[in-house]
Chain A
């Protein structure tokens, strides 16, 4: 799982497998963002899940949010090679409406 100042974590899976990435945060948050970043590009939002939502889906992606354990997860079903990217969670847990804090990220490699 990701958070804090640790370096990027790495996951390597075979094409067609399912994968789950975890994210924990330290204080109350109203929203968790999940972004993917392709090499050399800026991050792109893939799912935004709010504190009143337990689950949100977008195609093969599924995000969950458990406010009691202060954690979120992003799952990819039947991963494809094009899912290879770095995935970040981000929250407003650091306080302030304009302070979005990113976790340390997960490098996902999907191998054909």
Chain B
């Protein structure tokens, strides 16, 4: 069975500090991977996607970057956090992109103070 694990579960960080969020997918070879951001009470906004190791495409520029160092791992990071980065970060995978179902992780809650 496929599993998707996000870490950490929650973070409280200071403005200007660095951030690294992770996502690991087990039980599925070469999945398409995605990062989404959700403001409290808002919808999901796609940030990045990756269809293969080492390749990441940006969808929305929010002073964040993403990397896929391994087939089963997707990392979201920034060197300097902004207050506007607060929210809920969700990782997801799919087999064939938007034409197939997306499976989301449990998310990371980030509060920037």
Asked whether A98 lies within 8 Å of B101 as measured between CB atoms, the reply is: no
Tell me if B104 counts as interface (CB < 8 A to partner A).
yes
Which residues 14-61 of A sit at the B interface, judged by CB distance below 8 A? 30-31, 33, 35, 40-45, 48, 50
Which residues 81-103 of B sit at the A interface, judged by CB distance below 8 A? 90, 92, 96-103
A-B CB proximity, top 4 nearest = A42-B104, A92-B98, A97-B97, A98-B49
Instruction: Report B31 CB to chain A, min CB distance, Å.
Output: 11
Question: Total A-B residue pairs with C-beta atoms closer than 8 Å?
Answer: 71
Q: Chain A contacts of B42 at CB under 8 A?
A: 7-8, 104
Residue from B92, B99, B105 in contact with A97 in the complex, judged by beta carbons closer than 8 Å: B99
Asked whether A45 lies within 8 Å of B41 as measured between CB atoms, the reply is: no
Given contacts A7-B41, A31-B99, A42-B92, contact A99 B46 (CB under 8 A): yes
Tell me if B34 counts as interface (CB < 8 A to partner A).
yes
Chain B interface category by residue count: 20 to 34
Tell me if A100 counts as interface (CB < 8 A to partner B).
yes
How many residues of chain A get a CB closer than 8 Å to chain B's CBs? Answer: 29
Asked whether B43 lies within 8 Å of A88 as measured between CB atoms, the reply is: yes
The listed residue with most A CB atoms (<10 A of its CB), out of B51, B98, B105, is B98
Instruction: Report B86 CB to chain A, min CB distance, Å.
Output: 15
